[in-house]
Structure formats: structure tokens, C-alpha cells
């Protein structure tokens, strides 16, 4: 245990996700020895992120203005919306370069064990967007786990009666891997989702 | 299931011989994980856990290997009412095992049977849930009295039901404010406890709703703290209703 400011810093760093007491101590001493300019830049970045970053009023992705970069982009298609759980999922899909529509960030997945139900997610806001009549396809890109699957099932039940095409991201084998190492669930899903060549 | 670090999870498991245990599963949130899919919720798995099970609670054990026996989560995730019912079953099982490493074979069998029952979709999900809750409460020692008075033990079906008294109560013992469920609702509760699915499947929506209300009230009275998942159970579906 240290005293005063250094212990306060260790305690604060230790509250961050994935940072244990040892890592917090290592980071605190690194900062103590770092150049003043480096520390000032870090402090400024922390302050700026809290001051400037908010949620996009349309899709709930992170944004620095009323709407995020993707919602403001006039070149993107308004006919499809890709539903994801978290803003980081938007980044992952954007990296593929395959999707040119809009996004909707739910803010999590339905997980009754954690007390998260449909009302705790931005499902009402999604339904309001779909009611505009412009959307032709809703792509459900929630995580490929039980909670993500259940959330997709719930959304599909809500949206299908509106006459909008609802699709789910395919599950399957990772590129570059050997078939024999795939687990039975992933391989089973890959079989279910096989396509004609 | 709880996220841990960058890509790990802490998995809570109900085991046949060691009661409820928690263990870390390394790297299972990565898409390249070899056994992450087998550790999804509601599955029946054969698992190898590294660490001394005698060293209770002092360190988190690590899951080394997991083989699937039957992964019910696969079907349950695709059926929203069944998914919410399975969540309530899992949370109840966890709450009924407050201490880790205390074997509870009966609860293990009930939980496994309930997951299997939900996945085969033979009966309505709310019936499977209520049957599990009634039997799990019985295994914990707080079965609601249904065929005798909860206070004086007078045999017979009594019209009033008082959660604080422990179930149905005779006219002499009936505390003020007792519920008066339909006789057929109490009959449904008896059928669910006994596993009489012919009667249970023939019940109507109002009986099922009233039964679920009484079962939930009874459970939460004894658990003292409400279940997070129970209010989220989707009871709108009429699957399996005849």
C-alpha cells in the first residue's frame, strides 16, 4: 500500500475493466515516470472524450455531434439497417467494407439473468425508425451466442409482420482454419447455412 | 456467465457431484475459441476443471476442457418464450444453491429435466417453468401446501391460499387477505408438482396465469429477494396450450 496521490491513482486505475491491482500499480508508476507532456495529453484525451462524445440521436453509435459519421453520410443506403449490440460491433462490420447501409446500436442483448429485458435496450427507437417505411431489410448482427440469438429471435418476431425482410448474419467456419478443429455447434451452423456454389 | 478480462468468462455451473461451482474459461469470447460454444448457457456438458475443489473459494478454478452432452441453448435461443423460461430456471437453481460445492443431486436432476423439457417443446414453456419451480421449492423444503391446510394440516383441497402461511389454508386458519384461486388452479399446481402432464396440458390460459402468479409469489417470499429474470419471462405465447 502506498500513500496519498499515487495510491489514489492506483485505486482509480484498478477500477477499469481488465485492470487488476498489479497492472494498476504498473500503470501508475509508468505515468509517474512519464514526460509531463505525455501525461497532459492523456488527461486532455480523457476530458475530451467525456465532453465531446455522446450517442448518435438516430442509431446510438458513439458520435461527436448530434448524429454519427455514418448517419450523416448521404452516400450510404437508407434501405437497410444493421442491428448490433455495441458501438464496437459497428467498427468490426465497417472493417469488412461489405455493408453500405445504416446501423442501429441496441446497447446490449436481452439477458434475463442480468435483468436486461427488451425495455432496457433501444428496441422502441428501432421500431420508430422502421415505421418510416423506407427500410427494406433489417440485418440482425447481434453476437453469435445464446443471448444474441434470443435477441435476434425477439426482433424478428416484432419486425416480420411489418413486411420488412429480416436477415441474420451467417455463422460458420473461420477463414484459414482446419475443419477438424471446429466445434460441433459452429460446424452444425455452417452446415445449416450452406449455400449453392 | 460473467465477462472476465479481455476475452474470458466466469462460468457458473450446477454439477452432479459438487453442487454449484464457478470457474474461469479462458479465451472463450474469441471467435477462435475451441470450446466457447459448449459453455453457452443452459447446456449439459462434461467439463474438466483444473484446481483443487477442496480449496473452496480461495482461487478461481479454470476450465480446461468441455465436451457437449446436450447443448439446449441452441434450441432455446431461437424460441424467445423458452429462452426467458430457461433463464428463470437457471437463476432459480443458482439462488437455491447459496453455497458453492454443496452437492444437490435432486436440484441438478430437476434443472436438467427442465432444460430438456423446454428444448423438446412438448409442453408450454410456462408450465415447464412452474413445474420446475414447484419441485425445486419442494427439494429446498418449502413446497406450498396444496392438499392440506398449511397451518393446521387438515387434509383436503382448501379454497384460500396464503403465501406467508405456506400455501392453501382451511377456513379456520385463513389469514385476512388470503387469495382465493380457482379450484382448477390448485388442481393445476398439484398436477405440475406430481408431473401429471395430461391435466397440466389441458389447463387454460387463466389457470396458467393464476398458477404462475401464486408460484412466483411463493418462491419470492422464500427467497426474500426477487429473481431478476422472473418478471422478464415471456408468457404471451400459447405454445403447447390445448
Chain B residues with CB inside 8 Å of A184's CB?
A: 37, 68
* Percentage, residues of chain A above pLDDT 90: 78
For chain A, what percent of residues have pLDDT higher than 70? 100
Q: What is the pLDDT of residues B85-139, one digit of tens each?
A: 999 999 999 999 988 888 899 999 999 999 999 999 899 999 999 999 999 999 9
pLDDT > 70? residue B3? no
**A72 has a pLDDT exceeding 80:** yes
Interchain pair A174, B31: CB under 8 A: yes
Going by pLDDT thresholds of 50, 70 and 90, the confidence category of residue A118 is very high
For domain B2-71, give the fold.
OB fold (Dihydrolipoamide Acetyltransferase, E2P) (2.40.50)
Per-residue pLDDT, B237: 62
Mean pLDDT computed over every residue of chain A: 92
Mean pLDDT of A186-195: 85
Q: Is the pLDDT of residue B59 over 90?
A: no
CA distances from A7 to A2, A3, B40, B44, B181 (A): 5, 5, 39, 45, 60
Give tens-digit pLDDT for A168-188: 998 888 777 788 878 888 888
pLDDT band at A73 (very low <50, low <70, confident <90, very high): very high
Query: Which of A145, A141, A151 lies closest to A117 in space, CA to CA?
Result: A151
- Considering the four listed CATH numbers 1.20.1440.120, 2.40.37.10, 3.30.465.10, 1.10.3720.10, the one that applies to the domain covering B75-232 is 1.20.1440.120
> Do the domains B2-71 and B75-232 sit in the same CATH topology, yes or no?
no
Find the helix or strand (DSSP H, E) in which B139 lies: helix B125-140
**Cβ–Cβ below 8 Å for A18 and B42:** no
Compare CB distances from B87 to A112, A144, A149 and report the shortest one's residue.
Answer: A112
Confidence of residue B27 (pLDDT cuts 50, 70, 90): confident
Task: Report the alpha-carbon distance of residue B126 to residue B39 in Å, rounded.
Answer: 25
pTM > 0.80: yes
Q: Quick check: A150 contacting B, CB < 8 Å?
A: yes
- In order of start, what are the domains of chain A with their CATH numbers? 4-52 (1.10.8.420), 75-168 (3.40.1360.10)
Report domain extents, chain B: 2-71, 75-232
The pLDDT tens digits of the residues spanning A1-29 come to 788 899 999 999 999 987 888 999 999 99
Q: How much helix, strand and coil, in percent to the nearest 5, is found in chain A?
A: 50, 10, 40
Q: Name the residue among A114, A150, A153 with its Cβ closest to that of B228.
A: A114
Q: Which of A88, A144, A150, A152 to mutate to test the interface with B (most CBs of B within 10 A)?
A: A150
Chain B residues contacting A via beta carbons under 8 Å: 1, 5-6, 31-32, 34-38, 40-42, 68, 71, 73-74, 76-80, 83-84, 87-88, 90-91, 228-229, 231-233
C-alpha cell at B82: 423458452
| Residue B130 host element (H or E) | helix B125-140
Residue A187: predicted pLDDT: 86
Q: Do B228 and A115 touch (CB under 8 A)?
A: yes
Q: For residue A68, with 0-12 CB atoms within 10 Å meaning exposed, 13-18 middle and 19 or more buried, which class applies?
A: buried
Residue B8 has pLDDT above 90, yes or no: no
| Mean pLDDT (whole number) for B218-226 | 88
Confidence of residue B61 (pLDDT cuts 50, 70, 90): confident
Hey, is the C-beta of A146 within 8 angstroms of any chain B C-beta? yes
Quote the ipTM score: 0.84
With CA atoms as reference, report the closest residue to B60 among B125, B2, B10: B10
pLDDT reading at B241 higher than 50: no
The CA angle B192-B193-B199, to the nearest 5 degrees, is 30
Are the Cβ atoms of B232 and A174 closer than 8 angstroms?
Answer: no
Q: How confident is the model at residue B1 (pLDDT cuts 50, 70, 90)?
A: low
At B53 the pLDDT is 62
CB within 8 Å: A146 and B76: yes
Amino acid at each position: 500500500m502506498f500513500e496519498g496521490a499515487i495510491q489514489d491513482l492506483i485505486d482509480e486505475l484498478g477500477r477499469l475493466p481488465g485492470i487488476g491491482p498489479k497492472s494498476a500499480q504498473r500503470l501508475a508508476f509508468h505515468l509517474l515516470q512519464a514526460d509531463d507532456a505525455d501525461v497532459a495529453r492523456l488527461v486532455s484525451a480523457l476530458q475530451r472524450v467525456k465532453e465531446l462524445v455522446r450517442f448518435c440521436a438516430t442509431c446510438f453509435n458513439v458520435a461527436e455531434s448530434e448524429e454519427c459519421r455514418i448517419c450523416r453520410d448521404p452516400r450510404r443506403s437508407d434501405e437497410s439497417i444493421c442491428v448490433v449490440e455495441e458501438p464496437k460491433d459497428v467498427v468490426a462490420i465497417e472493417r469488412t467494407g461489405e455493408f453500405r447501409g445504416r446501423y442501429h446500436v441496441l446497447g446490449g442483448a436481452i439477458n434475463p439473468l442480468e435483468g436486461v429485458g427488451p425495455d432496457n435496450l433501444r428496441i422502441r427507437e428501432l421500431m420508430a425508425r422502421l415505421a418510416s417505411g423506407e427500410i427494406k431489410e433489417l440485418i440482425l448482427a447481434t453476437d453469435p451466442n445464446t443471448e444474441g440469438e434470443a435477441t435476434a429471435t425477439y426482433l424478428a418476431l416484432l419486425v416480420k409482420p411489418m413486411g420488412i425482410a429480416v436477415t441474420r448474419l451467417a455463422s460458420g467456419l473461420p477463414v484459414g482454419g482446419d475443419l477438424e478443429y471446429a466445434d460441433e455447434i459452429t460446424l452444425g451452423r455452417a452446415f445449416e447455412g450452406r449455400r449453392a456454389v | 456467465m460473467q465477462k472476465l478480462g479481455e476475452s474470458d468468462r466466469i462460468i457458473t455451473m450446477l454439477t452432479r457431484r459438487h453442487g454449484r461451482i464457478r470457474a474461469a474459461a479462458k479465451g472463450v469470447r474469441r471467435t477462435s475459441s475451441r470450446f466457447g460454444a459448449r459453455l453457452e448457457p443452459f447446456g449439459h456438458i462434461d467439463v474438466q476443471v483444473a484446481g483443487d475443489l477442496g480449496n473452496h473459494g480461495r482461487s478461481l478454478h479454470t476450465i480446461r476442457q468441455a465436451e457437449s452432452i446436450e447443448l439446449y441453448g441452441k434450441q432455446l435461443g431461437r424460441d424467445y418464450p423458452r429462452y426467458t423460461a430457461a433463464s428463470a430456471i437457471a437463476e432459480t437453481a443458482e439462488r437455491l444453491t447459496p453455497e458453492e460445492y454443496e452437492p444437490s443431486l435432486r436440484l441438478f436432476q430437476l434443472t436438467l429435466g427442465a432444460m430438456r423439457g423446454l428444448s423438446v417443446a412438448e409442453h408450454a414453456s410456462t408450465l415447464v417453468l412452474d413445474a420446475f419451480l414447484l419441485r425445486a421449492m419442494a427439494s429446498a423444503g418449502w413446497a406450498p401446501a396444496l392438499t392440506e391446510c398449511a397451518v393446521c394440516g387438515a387434509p383436503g383441497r382448501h379454497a384460500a391460499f396464503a403465501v406467508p402461511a405456506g400455501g392453501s389454508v382451511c377456513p379456520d386458519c385463513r389469514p385476512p387477505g388470503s387469495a382465493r384461486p380457482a379450484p382448477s388452479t390448485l388442481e393445476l399446481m398439484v398436477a405440475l408438482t406430481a408431473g401429471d402432464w395430461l391435466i397440466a396440458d389441458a389447463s387454460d390460459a387463466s389457470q396458467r396465469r393464476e398458477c404462475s402468479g401464486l408460484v412466483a409469489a411463493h418462491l419470492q417470499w422464500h427467497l426474500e429477494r426477487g429473481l431478476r429474470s422472473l418478471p422478464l419471462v415471456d408468457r404471451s405465447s400459447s405454445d403447447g396450450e390445448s
